[in-house]
């Protein structure tokens, strides 16, 4: 049978691999150039920085085995703690990253798959018992895109699942990292700086003598400033970072800002059963953690195979 997976995020790629492994032809359609979705990484000057998912856990033994086989020597562990209100957050929890960037998870999962990048899927149209995407007919179409985009593709209510925005910044300083902690987070959601991590906590990522910080703003702040000119909130967040972390304004270096319009899901609502042959996976259907969307991709593939058997 022929199947289309819309979105080359982690869940979509895991789902596609399972379906292809069962002997079906699977086409992955991705509107951007990159793979891995919000598991994103970019070059920042001479540095390599994760701009989306900062790390991932592997509590599920099956997923851990798969990641270890895929990533081999690239799999690394963050050793320094995360602080929340001055206390160690989830002491003892293992947190992982890939040496060459967390987006490498997407590239590794896509290996061997038919992936069409920079390709906008458009509306999914029913043709008898099959579904047409970009002029081709498929027995099943699975969307791993954020729900507002999936709803547009499938002609459904975009309000069923709510996604939160996130304003993200990368900031460089001409000073070494003090090594005290990897990140600080505000679990209350009340402060504009919801998350600040120092990428120096990931070995080999940052040029000697420099430090690079990843700032992610709170949901409320991100909603308020989402449509503002970037320079307005960039300067504000940088000043807040410098005050909280004791950084010298005179040592400022490069900056980069990114607006995630659909950063993570909000609430527990999930889409109800689709029409036969239409499926949703990823954080439209589960929590926005790499491990969770990975598992959901596997489960969705299982459901597709069961329905079409």
Is there a single domain that holds both residue 96 and residue 17?
Answer: no
Q: Which one, of 304, 285, 309, 305, lies nearest residue 295 by Cα?
A: 285
Q: What gap in Å lies between CA 17 and CA 24, rounded to an integer?
A: 10
- Write a three-state SS string for 63-126: HHHHHHHHHHHHEEECCCCEEECCEECCCCCCCEEECCCCCHHHHHHHCCCEEECCCCCCCCEE
Is there a single domain that holds both residue 29 and residue 171?
Answer: no
Is there a single domain that holds both residue 243 and residue 205?
Answer: yes
Residue 108: inside a domain: no
Is there a single domain that holds both residue 123 and residue 224?
Answer: no
Is there a single domain that holds both residue 273 and residue 263?
Answer: no
CA angle at 28 for the pair 22 and 29, rounded to the nearest 5°: 160
Is there a single domain that holds both residue 22 and residue 167?
Answer: no
pTM for the full predicted model: 0.96
Q: Which one, of 267, 224, 4, lies nearest residue 114 by Cα?
A: 4
Q: Are 19 and 300 in contact (CB under 8 A)?
A: no
Is there a single domain that holds both residue 285 and residue 156?
Answer: yes
Q: Are 251 and 175 in contact (CB under 8 A)?
A: yes
Q: What gap in Å lies between CA 75 and CA 99, rounded to an integer?
A: 6
Q: Which one, of 194, 207, 199, 161, lies nearest residue 182 by Cα?
A: 199
The number of distinct structural domains making up the chain is 2
Residue 44: inside a domain: no
Q: What gap in Å lies between CA 140 and CA 280, rounded to an integer?
A: 11
Domain holding 177, by residue range, is: 49-100+162-268
Read off the CATH number of the domain in which 274 is found. Answer: 3.50.50.60
Is there a single domain that holds both residue 138 and residue 228?
Answer: no
β-strands 41-44, 47-50 pairing: antiparallel
Q: What is the pLDDT of residue 274?
A: 86
Is there a single domain that holds both residue 24 and residue 172?
Answer: no
Q: For the chain (length 309 residues), average pLDDT per consecutive 10?
A: 97 98 98 95 97 97 96 95 96 97 97 97 95 97 96 94 96 96 94 98 96 98 96 96 97 98 91 90 95 97 95
Q: What is the pLDDT of residue 33?
A: 94
């Amino acid at each position: 049978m022929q199947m289309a997976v819309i979105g080359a995020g982690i869940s979509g790629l895991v789902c596609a691999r399972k379906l292809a492994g069962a002997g079906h032809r699977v086409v992955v359609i991705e509107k951007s150039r990159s793979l891995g979705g919000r598991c994103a990484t970019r070059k920042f000057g001479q540095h390599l920085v994760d701009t989306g998912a900062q790390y991932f856990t592997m509590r599920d033994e099956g997923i851990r085995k798969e990641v270890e086989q895929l990533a081999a020597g690239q799999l690394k562990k963050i050793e320094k703690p995360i602080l929340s209100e001055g206390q160690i957050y989830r002491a003892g929890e293992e947190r992982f990253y890939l040496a060459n960037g967390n987006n490498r998870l997407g590239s590794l999962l896509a290996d061997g798959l038919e992936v069409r990048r920079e390709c906008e899927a458009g509306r999914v149209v029913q043709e008898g018992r099959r579904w047409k995407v970009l002029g081709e007919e498929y027995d099943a179409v699975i969307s791993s895109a954020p729900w507002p985009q999936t709803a547009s593709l499938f002609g459904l209510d975009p309000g069923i699942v709510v996604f939160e925005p996130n304003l993200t910044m990368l900031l460089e300083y001409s000073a070494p990292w003090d090594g005290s902690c990897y990140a600080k987070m505000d679990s209350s959601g009340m402060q504009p700086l919801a998350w600040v991590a120092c990428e120096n906590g990931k070995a080999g990522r940052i040029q000697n003598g420099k430090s690079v910080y990843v700032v992610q703003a709170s949901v409320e702040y991100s909603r308020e400033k989402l449509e503002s000119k970037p320079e307005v909130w960039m300067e504000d967040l940088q000043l807040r970072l410098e005050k909280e972390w004791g950084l010298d304004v005179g040592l400022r270096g490069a900056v980069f800002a990114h607006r995630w319009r659909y950063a993570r899901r909000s609430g527990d609502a999930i889409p109800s059963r689709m029409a036969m042959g239409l499926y949703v996976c990823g954080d439209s259907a589960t929590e926005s953690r790499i491990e969770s969307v990975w598992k959901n991709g596997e489960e969705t593939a299982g459901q597709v195979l069961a329905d079409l058997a």
